[in-house]
Chain A
C-alpha cells in the first residue's frame, strides 16, 4: 500500500523515514506537496500542510488522511467527505505536553521569572518580588477536551479553584473527578485569576477572544493560549496587556512566526514560545507510535481510530 508522508522541513526527515518504513517500504517522504501526481492511498501530514480539493486532484487514489497532531484545521473536511476519504487525527499524544507547557507559563508569570532572571544577568540582586502563589487562585479552563482535562488534573495538587467552560458540559462524575465547576464563558473570564485556552479553531472560536472578552477579565490576570493563534484578536490582547496589566503566555499567534515588529514582542509581562507546546522529545515519540499504529490499523483492514471524517 502506497504511503505519502509530508512533514515540514524542521522535522528530522531521516528519523521519520526510518520509523514509517517499518510498516511499508512503498513510501515517499517529502517536505511539500509540489508534485504533479501521487498514487498514494495513505497520506500522513502534520498541521502545517493544507489538505484540500486541490491536493485531492493530484492524489486520485487517496483513501485515508492521517493528521499526526490534535489539530486538523489544515484539512478541508468537506472536500474529504465529498470524496469518501477517511480522516483521523491523534487526539491524545501531546495533551500532557501541552498541559505542562501551559502550566509552566502560568508559573513562570506568577513567579516573575523573566524579570528575576534578567535582573541577575544584568548584575543586580533584587530583594523584593512581585511573585505570587498559584495556590488559592481561581483557574479558568476554556475547553475541556483532552488538554483541558490533563491540565485540570495537574492543577488539583496546586490547591487552586478550578472553573471551566466548554460547549459541552462534563458529566457530574467527571466534574467531581477534576474538581472543576462549570460556568459560562463570560463568568469564567470575570471570575478567574488565570485563563487558559484549549479550544479547537472553528468558526465559533475564531477571534473569540476580542476586546469585549478581555474587558471582562480581572486587571492583572493571566491569559494563556496554547491552542490556535486565530482564536485571539491579537491587537485587542496587546491593548488589554497595556491597559489592564494583563499578563499573557502565548505559544500561538495570528501569524506564525509573528511579525518582528509586532508590539507583542516588546511587552514585558508576556512569555512566548514558537507553537511548540505539544512538541517535546517524549511527545514526538508518542506521535510517531500512535500515528504508525493507526496507519497500520487501516492497512490491516480495520477501521482507524480517532476518525474526524
Chain B
C-alpha cells in the first residue's frame, strides 16, 4: 500500500475528519486519499478552526499545513492552541528526502520550528511509520495537559510502499486521581478557617460544572474564576460566585487577602500587566488539576471532575457566603444606551444570545461582555494567549458542530483573519458575527492613556476602514445596528452567514 493510502486509512479509522488546511506542492502527495478537506485561505485559519473544533468536541483534530511556510504563518494560532489545551495533530509536507541535502525550495527544519508549541514532534521517515506515528501523536495530544503535536511528512514517504494494520488508540477519560491526595486536601480544607475556591477552564474542559457547584454548595465559600481563562469555569449566576480575578498579581492579592486557604481547582493564574513579583505570599495555596504550570502552591495532579466528586463527602461546611444580587447590571445598561456604551451593547447581546455559545474577541469590551453573558458549560470561548484574529476561525470550527454560535470581535481584531469569511460562505458554515466598531485599537489606547498618554491618540492606534464593504465582498449579509440593536433578532435567526456592525462609543475605557 502506498504511503498516502496508509495516511488516508489511519485518518478514517481514527475518525480524524475533516482535515483543515491550506495546501502547497509538498502536501499534494498526502492529500490524494483525503475526502473531507476544508480549505482555509490562510494557514493560521486552519489551526484556529481546528482549535475551535477541539474545544467544542474535546477530541483531537487534524490540520495540514504547507511545509515551513504554512507552519510559520500559523505559528500564533499554534501557540494559542497550546495555551488553550487543544489536542491538535498538526501535519505538514516536507520536501523529498532524497535531495534534502541540497536544501531545496520548500524544505526546512520543521520539527525545530514546531518545538515551542508542540509537545511532541517528529519527521516520519518511511510509510510503515505513518500510522504508528499518527496513533502515537493522537494519544500524546490527548494526554492532559492536552496540547498540539506536530508531524512532518516528506513527499517521498507518501509515494513509497508500506503496510497498514488497523489498531485502535486509547479512548481514555483521564480519570486521574490519588486517594491519599484527596484525603490530604480534605484535611487542609477542614483545618482552614476561611478558604476560598478559584475555579478555572479545566472545569469546563473536563465537564465538571455540576461537581464544582456541589462542592461550592457544601463548602459555602466564595468561588472566583481564574483570570483570562479560555472557557467557562463556574456558572456566574450561582450565589457562591464572587467574580473573576484580575490578571494582575497585586489585584489578586487584594481580592484574596481575607482568606487563609486558596484552592485553585482546574485553574491557573494568567497575568497581564506587571504589578508585583510575589503572588499571594505566605498564604497556603493548593492547586488541583491536570493543566496547571506548577507556578504556585502545592500541586496535586488530578482530574478536577472526579477529584471534586470524591472529596465532597470528606469536607465540612466552612462559610455561609452568598453574593448579593447585582441589580446594577440593568440600570447600568440602560444608562449606557444613549452613547451605545459597552454595558448596553453587552446587555443586549447577552439577552438575545442567552442560549448560544459565545466566542469572544471583543478585547476592550470582553470583561463587560463576560460579566453580562456569564459562564455556562461549553458556553464561552476565547483565546488564552491574547492573540487576535483567533475568534472568527475558532467560531467557524465550533459552528461546524453547533450552529448556535455568536462571535463578537473588535473592528481591529476582525482584520487579522478576515478571509475566514470565504470558508464560512464556501462551506455554508453558520456565522453570526458581531463587529464592535470603535474606530481603532482601544485597548492599546487605554493602556497608553495610563502609561504613555502622549501616544494615546497616535494615528497608528486608530486604523479605520469600510468594514461593511469588506465583509459584504465575501458575500456575507451585513447590517448596521440601530440604537435599539433590534438587528440582533435578525442575526439570531437562520443558519447562513450574517454580520452585524455595531457602531460603539469611542471613548477610551480606563484600564487601571
Contact = CB atoms under 8 A, between A and B. Distances in A.
A and B form one complex: yes
B335 A180 contact: no
Interface residues of B, number: 11
Contacts of A181: 327, 330-331
A57 interface: no
B328 interface: yes
Contacts of A156: 331, 334-335
A160 to B, nearest CB: 7
A138 B324 CA distance: 11
A180 B324 contact: no
B352 to A, nearest CB: 13
Contact of A175 (B326, B330, B335): B330
A160 B334 contact: no
Interface string B332-371: 1111000000000000000000000000000000000000
A191 B325 CA distance: 8
Contacts of B328: 136, 138, 161
A180 B330 contact: yes
A163 B333 CA distance: 14
Interface residues of A, number: 17
A159 B335 contact: yes
A117 interface: no
A245 interface: no
A144 to B, nearest CB: 14
A179 B325 CA distance: 15
A179 B334 contact: yes
A65 B331 CA distance: 40
Interface in A138-160: 138, 156-157, 159-160
A178 to B, nearest CB: 7
Contacts of B330: 161-162, 175-176, 179-181
A157 B327 contact: no
Nearest to B333: A179
A138 B328 CA distance: 8
A282 B330 CA distance: 33
B335 A176 contact: no
Contacts of A163: 327
Q: With a 10 A CB-CB cut-off, give which of B325, B331, B332, B335 has the most chain A CB atoms.
A: B331
A234 B334 CA distance: 36
A138 B335 contact: no
A177 interface: yes
Contacts of B332: 159, 179
Contacts of A180: 330-331
Interface in A176-195: 176-181, 191
Given A191-B324, A191-B325, A157 B335 contact: yes
A283 to B, nearest CB: 27
Contacts of A160: 331
A156 B332 CA distance: 8
A180 B326 CA distance: 12
A157 B334 CA distance: 10
Interface in B280-313: none
A103 to B, nearest CB: 16
A198 B333 CA distance: 25
A191 B335 contact: no
Contacts of B334: 156, 176-179
A67 B394 CA distance: 66
Contacts of B325: 191
Nearest to B347: A176
A160 B331 CA distance: 7
B335 A162 contact: no
Contacts of B331: 156, 159-162, 179-181
A161 B326 CA distance: 8
B324 A179 contact: no
Nearest to A159: B335
Contacts of A159: 331-332, 335
Q: With a 10 A CB-CB cut-off, give which of B325, B327, B328, B334 has the most chain A CB atoms.
A: B327
A160 B324 CA distance: 15
A156 to B, nearest CB: 5
B419 to A, nearest CB: 38
Nearest to A176: B334
B316 to A, nearest CB: 28
A179 B336 CA distance: 10
Contacts of A162: 327, 330-331
A136 B326 CA distance: 11
Contacts of A175: 330
A298 to B, nearest CB: 39
B294 to A, nearest CB: 40
A175 B334 CA distance: 9
A175 B326 CA distance: 16
B324 to A, nearest CB: 7
Nearest to A173: B484
Contacts of A191: 324-325, 327
A180 B332 CA distance: 10
A104 B20 CA distance: 65
Contacts of A157: 335
Contacts of A177: 334
A161 B328 CA distance: 4
Q: With a 10 A CB-CB cut-off, give which of A157, A161, A177, A178 has the most chain B CB atoms.
A: A161
Contacts of A138: 327-328
Interface string B2-46: 000000000000000000000000000000000000000000000
A176 B333 CA distance: 9
A158 B324 CA distance: 21
B150 to A, nearest CB: 51
A205 to B, nearest CB: 24
Contacts of B324: 191
Contacts of A178: 334
A138 B327 CA distance: 7
Given A136-B328, A156-B334, 17 more contacts: A138-B327, A156-B335, A159-B332, A160-B331, A161-B327, A161-B328, A161-B331, A162-B330, A163-B327, A176-B330, A179-B331, A179-B334, A179-B335, A181-B330, A181-B331, A191-B325, A191-B327
15 contacts: A136-B328, A138-B327, A159-B331, A159-B335, A160-B331, A161-B327, A162-B327, A162-B331, A163-B327, A175-B330, A176-B334, A180-B331, A181-B327, A181-B331, A191-B324
In order of increasing CB-CB distance, the 4 nearest A-B pairs are A179-B334, A161-B327, A179-B331, A161-B328
